[in-house]
Amino acid sequence: MSDEIKIQLTTTPGNKPDSSNLSFGKYFTDHMFIMDYHIDKGWHDPRIVPYAPISLDPAAMVFHYGQAVFEGMKAYLTDSGKVLLFRPDKNMKRLNQSNDRLGIPEIDGDFVIQAIKTLIEIDKSWIPTEKGTSLYVRPFIIATEPCLGVRSSYTYQFIVILSPVGAYYSGGLEPVKINVESSYTRAVRGGIGYAKAAGNYAASIKAQEIAKKEGFSQVLWLDAIEKKYIEEVGSMNIFFKIGGTVITPEINGSILEGVTRDSVITLLKDWGVPVEERKISIEEIYEAYKQGQLEEVFGTGTAAVISPVGELHWNEHTMHVNEGKIGELSQKLYDTITGLQSGSLPDPRNWTVTF
Amino acid sequence: MSDEIKIQLTTTPGNKPDSSNLSFGKYFTDHMFIMDYHIDKGWHDPRIVPYAPISLDPAAMVFHYGQAVFEGMKAYLTDSGKVLLFRPDKNMKRLNQSNDRLGIPEIDGDFVIQAIKTLIEIDKSWIPTEKGTSLYVRPFIIATEPCLGVRSSYTYQFIVILSPVGAYYSGGLEPVKINVESSYTRAVRGGIGYAKAAGNYAASIKAQEIAKKEGFSQVLWLDAIEKKYIEEVGSMNIFFKIGGTVITPEINGSILEGVTRDSVITLLKDWGVPVEERKISIEEIYEAYKQGQLEEVFGTGTAAVISPVGELHWNEHTMHVNEGKIGELSQKLYDTITGLQSGSLPDPRNWTVTF
């Protein structure tokens, strides 16, 4: 991709939302990045255009066979007016892993990061600066060929949209109630669970809605094979602090390889906190709870960063974690990662990209 | 849904494709049916409009979280100028099962069948009449709300498009080569395998493409848990005739409840052919093959109707089925079902809807 990015600016800039009332992914900035793919031409025609509806043939394959992958990142504005992105190379690597699994052509990660920077630069005035807010960056790829045969599409669009966001959970860093899902499954080995693919989320919605009606924020997914081992929570990775050791499910093909997950593991190692990536069963967690060893539970993801779990329900058992309060380590991880992301803490690993 | 269907006819009718060279799902008729859903209004504004691109916000949830389901049916034109649809009530029932699993609101099946009839009536001149051709009907539902939070969309579009099609396999009723897939999986219990959801197809593409490169038409999916029991072939149900008995995997939550599958089972029972719906392992099939008992293998689906399997590859084993020729029963089922669908055979069960 050596094409230059064409830029067409809006003539009707939108009104920026009140930054104290952003919620998540509801407002979008004035511009978006688009590039097209054709099997004979590769990725081409990269351009920044005014944010507007896209027009697709009703037979476009994304509507029928779900070839759609995405990424999520956050951009922060520093006091000195610089923009920060957190580990975008990891998102590009994962996007190409998702592409590979879904039969979607590879993208040039460096070029896309450059395109994202250019787009954010143009819509920089949309980056909110209140505590807990940021500019959410959503790159996604959809199959656009109008054809009803089941195969990889010959054409795609890669699009990046930007959304000023508040905290993912309106309650802020409040511990949430989680239900261990025992009927529905999210993914299985050999499937697409490790890909950030639209279909994984579609599969998760029903169980989430049932859990919400029962008063839970999210579901905790167990493995589909033995219905025993922990996979993910909602659309986040999950960590358990048990007797001083932090345990998180190992990468196994059916869970997402989270960027925040990787950052948490790295920070814990830096801090000398024992951390294990391994299979962990719900029984083991319940046993630890009964012995008073289950100290903290938290989810990790780009949207929420760290989401402490205050209550964990599993069949007839209710586990109250850390008396329903945010754990010390959860809080430290949240403060450190958001501090790094927003540029208020020194960044010895050069995780942030500044421009 | 008591709304009347508004009709806006095209002023620029398209050219009809050469019916000897239709392939599958490449050409579309002059009109389409659309209706909208809003959480506060339910399904509303049913209309038939000229076939045209649809316009969606780039944040529309279908692009990100894959809430998308579909159906497939075929319409035939009889010599006397009547249109035939095959068991459309079954498709409507399954569409609502898919909706339920994906968190999409229920549709009124009777109303939708009426809408489909009206649409086909308008585009009746597009129904091809050469042997093996038909008008493929593709109803589908997509989530349209522009929002990046993971939950059920508050708005949807239900759309029906029509495509004059030839045989699904360009080779006609030629036996195909199938590879038993041992790494990738399509679906698992607790997942969305039984739903006709876009995400299931997205998950299947990579294995299919690998199989194609190796010279196979389709993959045969094994269950995700034990990697042992037969699930489906490509996007079809599958049947094995072993020692005079026809065996097909039972409905288990991870395979699709095919309309053609049901029709085949019913016909076999009518004909006094022993038929079993049960778990069947790939080992059992290989054992039957070694003993000279594997008489016929065929896939069933709306697109291909009956697709005989001539060769089945499983790891280092190659099973040649019926010397690579179409089995007698496969041929009889194909002739009977297409005969019923096209109105050339009497229809004692009233499977076809005529208008």
Average pLDDT, chain A: 95
Predicted confidence (pLDDT) per residue in B15-74, tens digit: 999 988 888 899 999 999 999 999 999 999 999 999 999 999 999 999 999 999 999 999
CB contact under 8 A, A151 and B197: no
C-beta neighbour count of B213 within 10 angstroms: 8
Task: Tally Cβ neighbours within 10 Å of residue A238.
Answer: 27
pLDDT band at A302 (very low <50, low <70, confident <90, very high): very high
Contact B279, B229 (CB under 8 A): yes
* Euclidean distance between CA atoms A22 and A169, whole angstroms: 11
Alpha carbon distance B76, B355 (integer Å): 11
pLDDT for the residue numbered A54? 98
Cβ proximity of A190 and B185 under 8 Å: yes
CA distance A192 to A207: 18
Using the beta-carbon criterion (under 8 Å), do A198 and B199 form an inter-chain contact? yes
Q: Which among B62, B151, B163 has the least Cβ separation from residue A208?
A: B151
Q: What pLDDT score does A127 carry?
A: 97
B64/A140 CB distance under 8 A: yes
Contacts of B205 in chain A (CB under 8 A): 65, 67, 102-103, 150-152
Mean pLDDT value of segment A106-126: 98
- Tell me the Ramachandran region of residue A234: left when phi exceeds 0, alpha when psi lies from -120 to 50, beta otherwise: left
Do domains A6-166 and A176-342 share one topology? The answer is no
Q: Which region holds residue B322: left if phi is over 0, alpha if psi is between -120 and 50, else beta?
A: left
**A156 within 8 A of A143, measured Cβ to Cβ:** yes
Q: Would the pLDDT of B344 be above 80? A: yes
Q: How far apart are the first and last CA of chain B?
A: 22
Per-residue pLDDT band at B234 (split at 50, 70, 90): confident
With CA atoms as reference, the chain A residue closest to B53 would be A57
Are the Cβ atoms of A202 and B68 closer than 8 angstroms? yes
Q: Note the pLDDT of residue B174.
A: 86
* CA dihedral sign of residues A124, A140, A133, A90: negative
pLDDT bucket at A327, cuts 50 / 70 / 90: very high
- In this complex, which of B54, B148, B202 lies closest to A192 when CB atoms are compared? B202
Residue B172 has what pLDDT?
63
| Among the partner residues A187, A209, A225, nearest to B225 by beta-carbon distance | A225
Q: Report which secondary-structure segment, H or E, holds A178.
A: strand A176-180
A chain contacts of residue B232, beta-carbon cutoff 8 Å: none
Average pLDDT of the segment spanning A52-67 = 98
**In the predicted model, what is the mean pLDDT of residues B84-91?**
98
Residue A1: band (very low, low, confident or very high) from pLDDT cuts 50, 70, 90:
low
Per-residue confidence (pLDDT) for residue B214, from 0 to 100: 94
Q: What would you report as the CA-atom Rg of chain B, rounded to the nearest whole angstrom? A: 21
Mean pLDDT of chain B: 95
**CA-to-CA dists, residue B345 to A25, B64, B87, B348, B352, angstroms:** 55, 46, 15, 9, 11
pLDDT in tens, A241-259: 999 999 999 999 999 999 9
Contact B59 A188 (CB under 8 A): no
Total length of chain A:
355
Residues from chain B contacting residue A55 (CB–CB below 8 Å) = 53-55
As a whole number, mean pLDDT of residues B109-127 equals: 98
Residues of A within 8 A of B103 (CB-CB) are 205-206, 209
Q: How far is A267 from chain B (nearest CA, A)?
A: 28
Residue of B31, B47, B185, B228 to mutate when probing chain A, most A C-beta within 10 A: B185
Pick among A27, A48, A185 to test the B interface (most B CBs inside 10 A): A185
CA distance A82 to B91: 55
Q: Is the pLDDT at B170 greater than 70, yes or no?
A: no
What percent of chain B stands above pLDDT 90? 91
Give chain B positions within 8 Å (CB) of A65.
198, 201-202, 205
pLDDT at res. A235: 87
Mean pLDDT, range B270-293, rounded to an integer: 98
Residue scoring higher pLDDT (A221 or B132): A221
Mean pLDDT of B251-279: 97
Q: What was the pLDDT predicted at A178?
A: 96
Q: In which band, very low, low, confident or very high, does the pLDDT at B235 lie, cut at 50, 70 and 90? A: confident
B234: left (phi over 0), alpha (psi -120 to 50) or beta: left
The answer to whether B347 and B340 are in contact (CB under 8 A) is yes
In SS3 terms, A202-248 reads as HHHHHHHHHHHHCCCCEEEEECCCCCCEEEEECCEEEEEEECCEEEE
CATH class of the domain whose range is A176-342? alpha beta
Report the pLDDT averaged over residues A226-236.
94
Residue B130 has pLDDT above 80, yes or no: yes
Which residue is closest to A203 within chain B, CA to CA? B192
* Residue that has been written with the tokens 């009964």 in this structure: A290
| Res A167: pLDDT | 72
Chains A, B: CB contacts under 8 A, how many? Answer: 224
The candidate with the shortest Cα–Cα distance to B258, out of B194, B176, B350, B201, is B194
Q: What is the pLDDT of residue A19?
A: 85
Over pLDDT 70: what percentage of chain A?
A: 98
Rounded-to-integer distance, Cα B138 and Cα B160, Å: 5
Q: Which fold has domain B6-166?
A: D-amino Acid Aminotransferase; Chain A, domain 1 (3.30.470)
pLDDT band at A170 (very low <50, low <70, confident <90, very high): low
Structure confidence at residue A172 (pLDDT) = 62
Going from N- to C-terminal start, the domains of chain A cover: 6-166, 176-342
